[in-house]
Chain A
């Protein structure tokens, strides 16, 4: 009941959002599109019925929060381009179908546990295939063309990696905690237990070096460090991992021109304001344009005469900048708090989950979700170098939407199980 109530709020907010875009841009947008909000609410209403039927004890907050993020994203994308918004809403429907399919086919996340190595191999395989036959966009190999659809394997590899790590670490956490031998007064576990973990680190760096994809590399490596930390409680791995990554990054920074440039732009975007620094500068200037309360949905200048946007890739990388421009600090902080609230619910599920696998899974999924939002928002506001990953549920992009709904399904399964057991 609470979930439905929450969804009602989300539906109301969505309607207001679309209405304000419509009033601001009625000369370009037809009024028929106002039905978006209604359709949106209906689709999530069906998903709600599905969740309550399949997972009666699931957390009542996560789905409405995800729906809210989807709604905010759709509103902003709709404002940028009604055509893109139509595509995106198709992806939301596909994502929800995948979500329901997972809930009814998998039902219990623990059924994934035996497939640890298969999942890991699939993840690495996906990335490897992309490395070889992937399409290069903006200097990074992120895309795989399947039929007429472009897929971003990194988004799915992230999920598979979390499931693999949850399973592997649940099994090996005791031995990783124990000191097999001591080097320089620091206890280290036996090398054979570290092998698969070291391999994962190598994969992350390979992603960075070969695919030039700084964002996915940071994301995979961050998930990896966080989950080892949660499993073992030892800061040693975190420190070792960070050191390893720093060394690897240094090598890549000097060896890969694309990554080198991203760092240079981060340090001083105004050195090349019309070329490499353009995206960051235009993003920051869009954010600054918003002020405290924003220019109003649909009222800022984002799209030029020929449909060209001021911020390159504004619907994916730059969605936060457009949102912050139109809704101001109030809207931007609100959006970030939704992510934090989502993380809070996710970590809470991890805390109340009964078994190690469930805890690690929920924790890893939640952290991946939060870290991804942090990386892209941090990149857009020049806290860290800008990378090409998506803002979960908000950015335009099918792979991102579908994989995030799969993640949501897994989190809800964990929460259902945890509450059922209690």
Chain B
């Protein structure tokens, strides 16, 4: 019988080896994916026991995300509270027990939970853990301005769309508002209902919404034409009547407008499609796409933000992004049609880059991170990303955009005592009377402090009618001066 006994022992040894192997599989290979599952109770409770860092507005005083402490049987639990409700719901995001987190709450989660690898944070966290104290996260000071954000909210009331405002010289995002918004509290309480609500309030249109840019894109075309010395603001182009024929189809100006030979400056002021289509053809696809790439099109926005809450701007076909060089009608791209789909964030970057003398800055939402003891853990410095065009080209384009506001399609953005440069855009959706209305702007022209992009979707109005006043009110609120005319 000893032979059989020996084989039973071998069987046992194999069986226990299998047990150890599968345990190792769960503990080593599968551990990471299991740890982040929403059904993982220990993850949820561990998070609730962390006093998350606070999120502040740019003044470093106003709290955008606070904690609500509860004590239960010796356990301190911290639930997130958002004093401004829907105002910062997209930009700051939310942190919930059962429905994950978004926005800065997700992007800066390591700092907010003190799980970043910064030495002073690690030391303080380990100290707290050893003493059984509550782990307190680092505070995040954002670049968001409450007045600018409020103006964006007020302007977007009852409308669907988004507003993004940036500081041209630094890339700091001053306002990011998506409409309709939602109450972060409702995410915790009734997520299924919220996710089914019409108007998709959970979608961050500022960074995710893809819209045809319409004529705001003419600034990109003009930048390429000026910077390649193809044209100057005074170059004469023959606008050739109401329509021209491009690839067998008529390409027309808005309304019944008809122009003869006009300067580039006048063409931008009046947003003349027939001129910019020709410029696009003369530039050629390669040169136009080269400038688009410099402005940030075709790639993920370089913003520290959850990647699944951002979309790259560029050319799309059936929901798939086209690479530069894909066959497109360059004349229609040049006037912001064809397969162009852009985010408000991208168009704000375009305006900010022009306002910053052609230097594109990395967009940022965080100014600094401080530890609970007040030490500076992280400081955001302005980071130049790309020399998009020469300073001279930027100045020429700025002058042309100033004319748009002063005497062209964007007069609704005029502000007393303040010079504003801007560009309107109205993209037709194919349904009569349903437009996507754009306005991009920066001000003051001599030393731009703020650049804005506004998009309003599903509107019968034009960009100059509906979006320009919103941009003006955001600029006004931020600069705290001037009165809308």
Contact = CB atoms under 8 A, between A and B. Distances in A.
A285 B33 CA distance: 10
A310 B42 contact: yes
B12 interface: yes
B18 A282 contact: no
Interface stretch (B68-76, B117-125, B155-163, B342-350): B68-76
Interface stretch (A205-213, A259-267, A288-296): A288-296
Nearest to A278: B39
B431 interface: no
B171 to A, nearest CB: 40
A367 B18 contact: no
A219 interface: no
Interface string A216-238: 00000000001001110100000
A260 B22 CA distance: 24
Contact of A381 (B13, B23, B39, B75): B23
A343 B12 contact: yes
A305 interface: yes
Nearest to B73: A305
B1 A332 contact: no
A383 B22 contact: yes
Given A233-B1, A328-B27, A359-B5, A304 B19 contact: no
B41 A310 contact: yes
A117 to B, nearest CB: 23
Interface stretch (A85-93, A190-198, A246-254, A344-352): A344-352
A27 B27 contact: no
B6 interface: yes
B20 A336 contact: yes
Given A230-B5, A233-B3, A305 B15 contact: no
Most buried by A among B4, B37, B41: B4
A306 B74 CA distance: 11
A310 B41 CA distance: 7
Contacts of B22: 378, 381-383
B84 interface: no
Contacts of B39: 270, 273-274, 281, 285
Interface in A324-361: 324, 328-329, 332-333, 336-337, 339-340, 343-344, 347, 350-351, 356, 359-360
Given A292-B27, A305-B72, A381 B8 contact: no
B30 interface: yes
A204 B237 CA distance: 95
Interface residues of B, number: 37
Most buried by B among A332, A337, A382: A332
A344 B13 CA distance: 9
Most buried by A among B3, B23, B132: B23
B193 interface: no
Given A230-B5, A273-B39, A282-B41, A291 B31 contact: yes
Most buried by B among A231, A289, A374, A382: A289
Interface of A: 27-28, 226, 229-231, 233, 270, 273-274, 281-282, 284-292, 300-301, 304-306, 310, 324, 328-329, 332-333, 336-337, 339-340, 343-344, 347, 350-351, 356, 359-360, 363, 367, 370, 374, 377-378, 381-383
22 contacts: A27-B74, A27-B132, A226-B8, A285-B34, A288-B26, A288-B27, A329-B23, A329-B24, A332-B27, A337-B16, A339-B16, A344-B9, A347-B8, A347-B9, A356-B1, A359-B5, A367-B12, A370-B15, A374-B15, A374-B19, A378-B22, A381-B26
